[in-house]
Amino acid sequence: MSKTLGLVLVIAAVSLATGCKKKHYSPNCSKAVDLVAPWNAMKLPTGEGDGRVCMSNDLKTDVEHLSGDEASWEAKYEAAVVAQGYTKERCSNLSCTYLKAGEKLTVHANQVATGKRNKTIMHLSRQPSKDAPAADPAAAGSGTGSAP
């Protein structure tokens, strides 16, 4: 009987240990926040690869992914942005710029390695068209609330 109980306890401990993988987000990404407009309508891959929105307002959004690599995240975000009607203007070693109706969108991927824990931080920023009305900061939200 005690061997059976011991075996059950060992199996339970192993199951708990493998199911409780600790996620290591950056200190400035300790809590997930809501993705705000216009980012929330762009179908960005923010939830993939243990993704977490760290900061979001109408002009900037930062997302941290704990799996994958920089090149694959660049490709996924490019596909999402292009699907929304943006056209790639140019790329440098650091970022790519996309245009749509006078609006400029910049996507910058940053691969961060800390020991065996790699992560990719996606920085997205936009410059609205000069013809676009100014956004109301109160309506845009701060993106500091907790995600559901």
Q: What is the pLDDT of residues 86-136, one digit of tens each?
A: 999 999 988 999 999 999 999 999 998 765 678 999 999 999 988 765 554
Q: Is it the case that residue 9 has pLDDT exceeding 80?
A: no
* Domain assignments of the chain as residue spans, ordered by start: 24-140
* pLDDT on residue 118: 82
Tens-place pLDDT, residues 17-40? 444 455 788 888 999 999 999 999
pLDDT score, position 3: 62
Q: Which long-range contacts (CB under 8 A, 24 or more apart) does 106-115 make?
A: 107/74, 107/77, 107/78, 107/81, 109/70, 109/73, 109/74, 109/77, 110/70, 111/69, 111/70, 112/26, 114/24
